[in-house]
Chain A
């Protein structure tokens, strides 16, 4: 006896009974998502690590004379943005939507301010990309980091837009968590870039 399966009837049966057994439970998906995101973060260590390695190899125990106040201000702005991102995540985890959306806006505004500080002010200083190893490393490191900040800002906008439409809840907010982890990761990269560019070594006037 042969069994003939009508695909249409099978699909209707499956939909009618809400059968999606092939989909793993949300907690399992979440675990896999987290692992995937952290593996991505780990892979990025090679990029940022290579840039740091180039800095220490080429600059050694020296650094170009840069505007210290500007460096400290941009670093502080990124740090405050990280605080607001952590607040946004904590807020959605407790169903505090108002604080969640406001904190995301604050994070994005501070991220934009950081980007403006780097691109508009730091890049507009006396150091040029053509100034030998100092210019090349400075613009290479800040440029790669700025691209990550920019992609983080796009990510924040998407999450904010989804949040505004009520896509997240206290129980399910992987998108927010992923965005937060990525934003903090960009902050961690700057935690190493800031001393490498501004603080470590003897300042060399150009």
Chain B
């Protein structure tokens, strides 16, 4: 139980670090590529996908057995 809890907390930290890196990246991409819509939308979609998967747990929609 304790190990699972630590793993869950660790995953949250790693996801947060990934999102923070992407946020900083889009800030610099905007400056370097003159506000390129394509690149910035790609980064936004990537960030949204990470949040949906790891924070919103979208995969739970297809689970039948497990409760939480």
Contact = CB atoms under 8 A, between A and B. Distances in A.
Interface of A: 26-27, 30-31, 34-35, 38, 61, 63, 68, 72, 75-76, 79-80, 82-83, 85-87, 90-91, 93-94, 96, 170-173, 177, 180-181, 184-185, 187-188, 191-192, 194-195, 198-203
How many residues of B sit at the interface, in one of the four size bands? 35 or more
Interface in B33-62: 34-37, 40-41, 43-44, 47-48, 51-52, 54-58, 60-61
Contacts of A86: 12, 15-16, 54-55
B contacts with A: majority SS: helix
B12 to A, nearest CB: 5
Contacts of B68: 30, 93, 170-173, 177
Given A79-B16, A90-B9, A192 B48 contact: yes
Contacts, number: 109
Given A79-B19, A90-B12, A184-B55, A31 B5 contact: no
8 contacts: A79-B16, A79-B20, A90-B12, A170-B68, A173-B68, A191-B47, A191-B48, A202-B34
B11 to A, nearest CB: 8
**Closest 9 interchain pairs by CB?**
A199-B30, A94-B5, A90-B8, A83-B16, A195-B40, A184-B55, A86-B12, A201-B35, A184-B56
B26 A195 contact: yes
B43 to A, nearest CB: 7
A34 B61 contact: yes
A85 B58 CA distance: 16
Contacts of B26: 194-195, 199
B23 A96 contact: no
Contacts of A80: 16
